[in-house]
Structure 1
């Protein structure tokens, strides 16, 4: 808690070089630009703050994620955590600026600060990204209760469209859950927190790092095996079950039979139940192979029937067969058509003989010319 009046005055804030914490000496204006205001959340490897950008004319809000792993991590764990944090920055830069429902990346930078109660300096890393004003689906579920089937279908549709884009760029999210889906003030859904992403192109067929959310991760991810697009689809289905039932995944999964037991808590259409069950199959190859396949299953194309002519009914109520109309051709008309055809052949024969005598065209070529002319 630092009392600096020039950080509260908009005009002074734009020009002040830097301010430091009076207790620990930490710079308060990150990268000389971002001023954290309040805590948004804290996870295993970092902390998220709401901050404002003093280089923006309106002091636009943004999210600053600070990477500060626990001091009791081994060097290998520390390297893994730092790699995951940096990977999120790369993915946000690659995807966020291309898709409207993935937060944009604004900055990524390291920072070294003097150690608090220690002579050893502290190393920090920061990600600055777009701030989505709204609430995540975990908070929404706690406030309003269970989602209806229509609401869950909406979540499925929107997140699948985002995953279709993400998977097409050879990226797997690996941490889909209600708290990582945000609904903004206009009702648009966003996919957040790419901290556990897997870039398939960097290490095809590689081993998972073991970063996942218990209850939402499928068997292959929990065992540290290769992950697939269907890995994200499994987690999305588990998310839908939580929204439909209002219960945690551990309450819905029967570890004794190794099956999901959720239908007793909610009533949905057979179509949606079948889709969710397939998404939750333990073997990746038995699930839907892609978000595109799943979108097709959710939105089957119906072929409109060919319209049939209305039946003709007599005055007595008997259905009549449609009349077949025909035209009578007189013998005189037949003779005139035959005479005209004979005249055409005569003209073609004379033309063919003349061409043969002058140019020496073969009979085959003459026959072809005759057929074309007749046609």
Structure 2
């Protein structure tokens, strides 16, 4: 069995002990030591590091085996050992952050399925064979999430679809809602701290930067330490000011931008104009999601959504708007009607709009309709104006224009259809025939009115056709 030495700077950290391949030996051996530096290898007499998972400014993370579990369970061992020569104050802050992660994981990890559980937290004091001085290390053992973080996933598969980003946003919002309800702020939301396991479940990792706040007012007078990830953190955090739940929400929004575009937040932020310029890098994104992200990215914390639950509600509302009115109606009917009844064939429904549409305007005018209505208006208009002029002189013209206006309005509101137009036109012709029969109008007058109406109708059809052609040409150009 290969065991990895966890001492920083060990020249030969790989150690191989074939006797530990025997399960009985593995569980009973007291301790093993590094053949190069003498560092104890079985941490806390229980955890056996086998692979380096990664290094950071405060230490390293190892894949390890828990030899005192029936299945020799895999876990993650984090070692606290800051790089560089930190002064006493900086070292104390770094150690506090590491210990805080253990406290938070013990409290929250056991209560939420998408936060890794804490298994152990312990110090280790060893002697350095070269300097002969004692060295102190701190170890944190937590649940292994077998999967891939979103930063790695982004590099492997490319940019995320909107539906995939909405899934990430929704799942992490639920985790943040739980964290914030427990008076904590994560302070380091970014793709590398979100892990997707083999089954597709998302986990929030790395609680080393978590800040605990008072339940009353959030301790706004307390300033934040300079622990953040450049580009993902909002202005108040980078300035060392107070942090809020909205601080995490801002970082989650920048994470979404990174996943949508494949670009770092620094590339998407226009520092010259002091604004985000991310929409030019995204295609086919819904207005609902774009509006939510824009509000989350506002520079002033009070202008953003104030809680994860508010964002979840907005996300739900934006997705609900995408459901067609016919679907909503059928769902409501199925919920409210205990006895199913025959339904008419489905009718075409209009696309969603920001304002309600009157039922009388749902159906648009076709080209044929437009020409029919134009001819009808010209025919009726000429007869009314010329006919009433013979009876009422100047007032007749005014009354005729008012009637024409009424007819146009009725046609626009679709109160008249083609059958109605035929009826009104037929009635007008019959009325002229009656006038001719009773001698009110002469044959020449009736003929003049009919010919005038036909000419006016044809003329208005021609004018309408010309304007429609011009409109289509301009539309194709612009």
Q: Into which bin does the TM-score normalised by the smaller protein fall? A: 0.7 to 0.9
Alignment of 1:316-331 (within 5 A): none
Contact 1:44 1:69 in 2 (8 A): yes
Q: CA deviation at 1:71?
A: 4.6
Q: Which runs of 5+ in 2 are unaligned?
A: 1-13, 334-342, 344-418, 421-478
Partner of 2:238: 222
Select the structure with the greater relative contact order (CA < 8 A; seq sep ≥ 6): 1
Please identify runs of 4+ aligned residues in structure 1 that moved more than 3 A.
Answer: 301-307
Partner of 1:356: none
Structure-1 separation of matches of 2:53 and 2:233: 25
1:249/1:31 Cα in 2 relative to 1: closer, same or farther (>3 Å)? same
SS at match of 1:42: strand
Contact 1:160 1:291 in 2 (8 A): yes
Partner of 2:26: 13
Partner of 1:326: none
Partner of 1:334: none
Q: CA deviation at 1:174?
A: 0.4
Structure-2 separation of matches of 1:297 and 1:191: 22
Mapped pair 1:238 → 2:254:
yes
SS at match of 2:258: helix
Structure-1 separation of matches of 2:203 and 2:129: 37
Structure-1 separation of matches of 2:84 and 2:200: 40
TM superposition score normalised by structure 2: 0.63
Structure-2 separation of matches of 1:213 and 1:290: 21
Q: Which runs of 5+ in 1 are unaligned?
A: 311-316, 319-375
Partner of 2:208: 195
Q: Deviations over 1:270-296 (max 9, x none)?
A: 111110000000000000000000000
Mapped pair 1:40 → 2:18:
no
Match of 1:78 among 73, 91, 115: 91
Structure-1 separation of matches of 2:282 and 2:68: 50
SS at match of 1:48: strand
Alignment of 1:248-267 (within 5 A): 248-267=264-283
Q: Deviations over 1:232-267 (max 9, x none)?
A: 000000000000000111110111111111111112
Alignment of 1:1-375 (within 5 A): 1-201=14-214, 204-205=219-220, 206-267=222-283, 268-300=285-317
Contact 1:231 1:284 in 2 (8 A): yes
Structure-2 separation of matches of 1:2 and 1:49: 15
SS at match of 1:264: helix
Q: Deviations over 1:54-112 (max 9, x none)?
A: 00111100000000112500000000000000000000011000000000000000111
SS at match of 1:299: helix
SS at match of 2:229: coil
Contact 1:6 1:16 in 2 (8 A): no
Q: Deviations over 1:130-185 (max 9, x none)?
A: 00000000010000000000000000000000000000000000000000000000
Partner of 2:413: none
Structure-1 separation of matches of 2:174 and 2:250: 15
Contact 1:207 1:225 in 2 (8 A): yes
Contact 1:163 1:291 in 2 (8 A): yes
Q: Which has the larger radius of gyration?
A: 2
Q: CA deviation at 1:204?
A: 2.4
Structure-1 separation of matches of 2:305 and 2:71: 45
Q: CA deviation at 1:6?
A: 2.4
Contact 2:269 2:276 in 1 (8 A): yes
Structure-2 separation of matches of 1:129 and 1:182: 14
CA RMSD of aligned residues (A): 2.1
TM superposition score normalised by structure 1: 0.80
Q: Deviations over 1:10-52 (max 9, x none)?
A: 2211000011112222110000000000000111001000000
Contact 1:24 1:114 in 2 (8 A): no
SS at match of 1:103: coil
Contact 1:160 1:295 in 2 (8 A): yes
